[in-house]
Amino acid sequence: MIDRRELLGATAALGFVPGQALAASGDLKAIRTAADAGAAASVARIQEWIRHPGIAAENWQMEQSCAFTMDMLRDAGFQTVQKMPTVGQPGIFATLDAGARRTMGIYFMYDVKQVVASEWSSPPFDAALVDKPGWGKVIVGRGAVNQKGPQGAFLGALHAFRAAGKKLPVNLVLVAEGEEEIGSPNFHQVVQAPQVLAALKRCEGIVIPSAWQAKSGAVDINLGAKGMIEVELIASGEAWGKGPKGDIHSSLRAIVDSPSFHLVAALQTLVGPDGNTPAIDGWFDNVRPLTARERQLIALNSKASDDAERLSALGVKQWINGETGTTAAERLASQPTVNIEGLVAGYTGPGGKTVLPGRAVAKLDFRLVPNQTAKEAQAKLRAHLAKRGFGDIEVKVSGGYDPTETAETSRVIRAQQAVYARAGAQATLFPRLAGSWPGATFTAPPVSLPAGQFGLGHGSGAHAPNEYFVVESSNPKVQGLVGSSMGFVDFLYEMAAIS
Amino acid sequence: MIDRRELLGATAALGFVPGQALAASGDLKAIRTAADAGAAASVARIQEWIRHPGIAAENWQMEQSCAFTMDMLRDAGFQTVQKMPTVGQPGIFATLDAGARRTMGIYFMYDVKQVVASEWSSPPFDAALVDKPGWGKVIVGRGAVNQKGPQGAFLGALHAFRAAGKKLPVNLVLVAEGEEEIGSPNFHQVVQAPQVLAALKRCEGIVIPSAWQAKSGAVDINLGAKGMIEVELIASGEAWGKGPKGDIHSSLRAIVDSPSFHLVAALQTLVGPDGNTPAIDGWFDNVRPLTARERQLIALNSKASDDAERLSALGVKQWINGETGTTAAERLASQPTVNIEGLVAGYTGPGGKTVLPGRAVAKLDFRLVPNQTAKEAQAKLRAHLAKRGFGDIEVKVSGGYDPTETAETSRVIRAQQAVYARAGAQATLFPRLAGSWPGATFTAPPVSLPAGQFGLGHGSGAHAPNEYFVVESSNPKVQGLVGSSMGFVDFLYEMAAIS
């Protein structure tokens, strides 16, 4: 999941770029009329989608959720909609042939993150319509912004084309997965299926619909994202041959080794004396330094960024080493990381309990930058631990992506800039998202497509309670659902026309 | 809580020691008859006690539990029974003046450990009577062995004296607390109240009733116990001034410090390269090496101990450094420890979650040996951390006891040996319990009394589900409730007569 509104506050002014798609302005007007007429249906479509959830992490209602999504694609005009089995949850492959010159790829997901219903103001799968001060009328529900709202806005665009009697300016190839929230472990099986791969190869690029306008209307355009591996390190008496199998009375600590201290010692080797810099053998071998253009973009962005405001919003008193401005921004974009997501051992309740735990677990994520790979990172981590006497510690990799990059000169990026500019949304070009998404599935061989997020509109709360998506915006700088759909309409025209 | 059946498997034969109390054998017979006649009432008394629980950790029913316990003491013949307020739960001070030459101290607790009722075979406060294969008829309930069964057996002895028309051979001073299960934070306020201290000063020693006979009938006599401090180390962005206050997205790890790695670095300094030996500055300054007699006792015990069996029972493949026999036993008795009871940071559920946690907690216990003190240990831990740049890490001490020691030559210990020998229970003298109990409250100034556990009979499952206490033993080597009461009768006679 990409939550980069919290990552990036900077915006840089981009002048108005006359779009090639203005030639289609008559069509645009008719489609806008159709989109307005279909607004209520479009809202209801997203609500129904939220009411048909599937949670891959719990293997809950995945069949129904997949089937419902396939029906929505057929309903939106896709001519072929195929379920694509994988060793995990099935994916979806859909095509819409408009007889156009160019073809555009679209990426959907149909699974959603788990919920703790008691934490929500309204039941997470009710998809309640709520007035949200400062934003307008929103749908509250799990999946509202991640990704059923933005995806619904995209489908709303297709419905508007049809209702207006207009042909799509590009053909569409859509691939969807049901395991995004568990790290897309099998999505490559979908995109690399021969017929899917052949279809994707015809595409100009691929986008994941988004809705990340800030209150100012600003959006970011990311030219890539860090990769990552997510790992559990598990120290246990069982595997170590020292320490207890289960939890035993802590008085025995005098004569029994501690798997927890064994884990602590292993963790301590992963970072340098500053507690930050990755210290895994060979970790920086393939790290590519920032290019001059990347530095230029970062410098531009950090000028417009207010460090004090960002620190305060995050509840952080200082960045690493007290760095600020461009230095911190370069570090954010360029540095691989070693992060402890969680620690679990022994007694975790209130107060204490005199046990010597038989097992200790650290949950880690490692963000990767070009040209590191997830495969390389796993191998180096294992070798590093083994070399230092921690070969018994289980390295359980639950997910991983390679870093992803898309050229600034690609049509997908240039079209975004044009559409955002026409919409009056300041678009900041950022060399690399510090978060991760499975973009490398598309940008790396064998698919090798430009890939990025695109969308107007706003929603937030992905993975959190009260996730929402704005359907009627009370802020003139931010698009509601119809405006978001029209952004996709313009984007498809732009992709058809851009040189 | 002292759970030392899992600590000590060794038993050493002690020959039969003719007790001085044999002179009172006529009285003993009459009391035995009374005890047999009162057996059903004695069982019912323990059941009712279990049915009046108080849980200090939850501040649940403490008033009622205290009042019920005070009534039981009055009912057993204590002439003065006073509630002793503390800043926490009240204690109890009771006296029974038999006009005897000597006075004996008794320690009770009236609080019990928390329960998870769903884990029990019968409701934990029902005090069900159950046939337990290999042991006989038992009471199942929270507090059955820790401490209401053994304490009930002691009160049963007092009832038997009275029913037989016999005077107690010693006067009694009883002190009780309601906070044993939360580390006795305020018990010193009870024992050091002027009238209580004065009464305790008249005692020969003090015992906590126990019921720890093994299947062979064997018991251990501990000449002391390690002390301990229980501590939470809390690293937080808030206190550190680096890292986030709350959990933030893990992609920010590139520019935000990690309180979790800060905690890991601090933990790593607490032990030496072996992962075991305490490495806190000055930790060994006051550690007294084993005496020649302590080494002798350990050597005796370890000869009788089966290392392979103990390792297997604990699910441990080897002791520290692969040590065995006397070396391991000496280490167990003599070495202070640094133990991680638990680790908690960030996301602790299944799989991963891409957060950079704002807070990381390690729950630790440090066992202390003579002449370390709990106060010294806290101060040294804080100084050690501060010196190494971890002064921001909160050191939250939830409890602590000094080590406790009672001389082998004290009447309390010699009387135990005599009574156990008469009962045919092999008694192993062990220099020091590797676990901890608040014995130093009695053995250290200003009280300065010999203190120990004493009791025949059997129960187990303290702090666990299905805790039980044997009331009718099916094993001739192990005493039931009446036998346990008669052990206390003999012990009081022995304490009166021993030279």
Q: Say what the pLDDT of residue B6 is.
A: 34
Tell if the CB–CB gap between A237 and B340 is shorter than 8 Å.
Answer: no
Question: Which 8-state DSSP code applies to residue B148?
Answer: I
In this predicted structure, the answer to whether residue A419 has a pLDDT above a threshold of 90 is yes
Q: Which residue has the tokens 């819409």?
A: A96
H-type helices in B335-464, by residue range? 374-387, 411-422, 440-443
Q: How does residue A377 score in pLDDT terms, banded at 50, 70 and 90? A: very high
Has residue A51 got a pLDDT over 80?
yes
Q: How close, in Å, is residue B249 to chain A by CA atoms?
A: 8
pLDDT, average across residues B360-366: 97
pLDDT level of residue B19 (50, 70, 90 thresholds) = very low
Nearest CA in chain A to B183: A352
- pLDDT at A11 (0 to 100): 26
A23: pLDDT strictly greater than 70: no
Residue B464 reports pLDDT greater than 90: no
Cis preceding-peptide flag for A59 (omega within 30 of 0)? no
- Which residue does chain A place closest to B356, by CA atoms? A341
Chains A & B: contacts with CB separation below 8 Å: 270
A312 touches chain B (CB under 8 A): no
Tell me the nearest-neighbour CA distance from B117 into chain A, angstroms: 17
Using CA coordinates, name the residue in chain A closest to B318. Answer: A242
Give the tens place of pLDDT for each residue, A306-344.
888 889 888 999 999 999 989 999 999 999 999 999 999
Output A294 or B116, whichever has higher pLDDT.
Answer: A294
Q: How far apart are CA A95 and CA A89, in angstroms?
A: 20
**Has residue B254 got a pLDDT over 50?**
yes
The domain spans of chain B are: 20-225+405-497, 227-287+336-401
Distance from CA of A417 to the nearest CA of B (A): 25
Question: For the complex shown, is ipTM > 0.85?
Answer: yes
Interface membership of A317 toward B (CB under 8 Å): yes
Chain A residues whose CB is inside 8 A of the B257 CB are 275-276, 320
What is the Cα–Cα distance from A447 to A189, expressed in whole angstroms?
12
- Answer whether B258 sits within 8 Å of A264, measured CB to CB: no
pLDDT of A194 strictly over 70: yes
In a 13 Å sphere around the CA of A254, the CA atoms on its Cβ side amount to 24
Q: Mutation test of the interface with chain A: which of B2, B238, B251, choosing the one with the most A Cβ atoms within 10 A?
A: B251
| Strand blocks (E) in A237-382 | 248-249, 337-346, 355-356, 359-368
Taking an 8 Å cut-off on Cβ atoms, the answer to whether B258 and A365 are in contact is no
Give the architecture-level CATH label for domain A227-287+336-401.
2-Layer Sandwich (3.30)
Q: Which residue of A has its CA nearest to B237?
A: A316
Q: Is the separation of the CB atoms in B455 and B128 below 8 Å?
A: no
Q: Taking residues A172-179, what's their average pLDDT?
A: 97
Amino acid at the residue A325: G
Evaluate if residue B384 carries a pLDDT over 70.
Answer: yes
Band (B472; pLDDT cuts 50, 70, 90): very high
Inspect the interface and report whether the beta carbons of B346 and A346 lie closer than 8 Å: no
Distance CA B192, CA B310 (A): 40
**Confidence label for B16 from pLDDT (cuts 50, 70 and 90):** very low
Coil vs helix vs strand at B285 = coil
Q: What is the DSSP letter of B145?
A: I
Question: How confident is the model at residue A400, as a pLDDT?
Answer: 85
User: In this predicted model, what pLDDT tens digit does every residue of A439-475 receive, in sequence order?
Assistant: 999 999 999 999 999 999 999 988 888 999 999 999 9
Residue A449 tokens read as: 């497509």
Pick left, alpha or beta for residue B287 (phi over 0 → left; psi -120 to 50 → alpha; otherwise beta).
beta
> What is the spatial distance between Cα A255 and Cα A264, in angstroms, rounded to a whole number?
19
Contacting B residues, span 320-359, partner chain A, CB-CB under 8 Å: 320, 323, 328, 331-332, 335, 337-348, 350-358
Residue B23 has pLDDT above 70, yes or no: no
Backbone angles phi, psi at B332, to 5 degrees: -60, -40
pLDDT score of B20 more than 50: no
Q: Return mean pLDDT, chain B.
A: 92
What is the CATH topology of the domain spanning A20-225+404-497?
A: Aminopeptidase (3.40.630)
Residue A155 sits at the chain B interface (C-beta within 8 Å): no
Length of chain B: 499
Distance CA B103, CA B99 (A): 9
Confidence of residue A437 (pLDDT cuts 50, 70, 90): confident
Q: What is the DSSP string of A50-85?
A: HTS--BGGGTBSHHHHHHHHHHHHHHTT-SEEEEE-
DSSP 8-class letter at A444: S
Q: Which residue spans within A125-238 are E strands per DSSP?
A: 128-132, 136-140, 171-177, 203-209, 219-222, 224-225, 227-236
For the cut 60, the answer to whether the pLDDT of residue A19 exceeds it is: no
Q: Inter-chain contact A337–B268, Cβ cutoff 8 Å?
A: no
Please report which confidence band the pLDDT of residue B131 belongs to, taking 50, 70 and 90 as the band edges: very high
Long-range (24+ apart) CB contacts under 8 A made by B293-300 are B293/B408, B293/B431, B294/B333, B294/B334, B294/B431, B294/B432, B295/B330, B297/B223, B297/B429, B297/B430, B297/B431, B298/B326, B298/B329, B298/B330, B298/B333, B298/B430, B298/B431, B299/B326, B299/B329, B300/B12, B300/B429
Please state the rounded mean pLDDT for residues A16-39.
74
Q: Within the 385-444 window of chain B, which residues sit less than 8 Å (CB to CB) from chain A?
A: 398-399, 433-436
A251 CB neighbours in chain B (<8 A) are: 4, 7, 226, 337, 367, 433-436
Q: How far is CA B354 from CA A402, B250, B335, in A?
A: 16, 5, 41
Confidence of residue B24 (pLDDT cuts 50, 70, 90): low
The domain made up of B20-225+405-497 is a member of CATH 3.40.630.10: yes
In terms of C-beta distances under 8 Å and separation of at least 24 residues, what long-range contacts does B35-41 make, across chains too? B35/B156, B35/B157, B35/B159, B35/B160, B35/B163, B35/B482, B35/B485, B35/B486, B35/B489, B36/B482, B37/B163, B38/B156, B38/B159, B38/B160, B38/B163, B39/B481, B39/B482, B41/B159
> CA B293, CA B380: separation in Å to the nearest integer?
30
Looking at the complex, report in whole angstroms how far the Cα of residue B77 sits from the nearest Cα belonging to chain A.
Answer: 37
Q: What residue type is assigned to position B343 of the chain?
A: L
Q: Does residue B159 carry a pLDDT above 60?
A: yes
CB atoms within 10 A of CB B309: 10
Q: Which of A493, A478, A497 is nearest to A30 (CA)?
A: A493
pLDDT digits (tens, 9 = 90+) for B261-319: 999 999 999 999 999 999 999 999 999 999 999 999 999 888 767 888 889 988 999 99
pLDDT at A204 over 80: yes
Confidence of residue B130 (pLDDT cuts 50, 70, 90): very high
Q: Which residues of A touch B249 (CB under 8 A)?
A: 3, 6-7, 435
A68 burial via Cβ count (<10 Å: 0-12, 13-18, 19+) = middle
Percent of chain A whose pLDDT exceeds 90: 84
